[in-house]
A = this chain, B = another copy of it.
Amino acid sequence: MAKAPSKARGTRVRRQPDRGRYDRATIDAILDAALVAHVGYVDGGRPVVVPTLHARVGDELLIHGSAASRTLRALGGGIPVCVTVTLLDGLVLARSAFHHSVNYRSVVLYGEARAVEQPDEKLAALRALADRMVPGRWDSVRPPDRRELRATSILVLPIDQASAKMRSGPPSDDERDLDRDVWAGVLPLPVTVGEPRPDHLAEGLDVPCHVRDWQRPGLAGQDA
């Protein structure tokens, strides 16, 4: 297991350290597969956690920052955030209550978030967010006008204090429980893609490839 340097306290997985991973390939794959991130920040001494959309672009994570950006503006600079993404892959049903668990992949990322201010950088960030959500989408829709761009708030933070944690495979039962008359195993919970629901479209407008063939790499945990 390759271990990349981590810069700060808090980045090492302390609980069940055998589940920790620190290589960027693992971290990036989880960030890219997750559609929703949970952003935590401190507001008046109190923790706040908001769900948001995100996109990794190289060594940075972009997040829609409407909630935290108010705090950010109030402080006039970067604010410490913790961004956590979690993919649930399955339920792990053991022979004992104690060893029940879930199969999952998660990343915890610490950093100072800054607001994207320049219109050009903001436009590029919005494009990245749209194309992460649905690759190829940006080029087929109307781009934001100046007012929409102003109304959008995006935060960016470097990916340099990150760790991944994951569990996969069957339950880890105690030796003493293996002969019990209990069904044990994994119940996979894949996210699937439903039938696209068109919204009052003109006749003859087919479902485009970028919608029909949409899939998220690693979204459904194949190894659950």
Contact = CB atoms under 8 A, between A and B. Distances in A.
A88 interface: yes
B88 A194 contact: no
Contacts of A53: 102
A18 interface: no
Given A93-B137, A108-B49, A187 B193 contact: yes
A218 interface: no
Given A49-B83, A142-B96, A144-B97, A90 B181 contact: no
Contact of A82 (B49, B100, B134, B189): B49
Given A110-B46, A137-B100, A144-B96, A40 B198 contact: no
Interface string A121-159: 000001100100110011011111000100110000000
B47 A81 contact: yes
Max chain B Cβ within 10 angstroms of own Cβ: one of A43, A148, A199, A206: A199
A78 interface: no
Given A47-B81, A98-B152, A133-B91, A183 B208 contact: yes
Contacts of A208: 183
Given A97-B143, A184-B199, A10 B46 contact: yes
A47 B141 contact: no
Contact of A100 (B66, B133, B178, B183): B133
Count of this chain's copies in the oligomeric assembly: 2
Contacts of A184: 198-199, 201
21 contacts: A38-B38, A40-B49, A42-B47, A46-B110, A47-B80, A47-B82, A90-B194, A91-B133, A93-B137, A93-B211, A97-B126, A97-B148, A98-B142, A98-B151, A100-B137, A134-B187, A178-B200, A184-B199, A187-B196, A189-B194, A190-B191
Given A40-B49, A51-B86, A142-B177, 20 more contacts: A36-B104, A38-B49, A38-B86, A45-B80, A47-B47, A47-B80, A96-B141, A97-B130, A97-B144, A170-B197, A178-B200, A181-B202, A183-B196, A183-B198, A183-B207, A185-B197, A185-B201, A187-B211, A187-B214, A191-B191
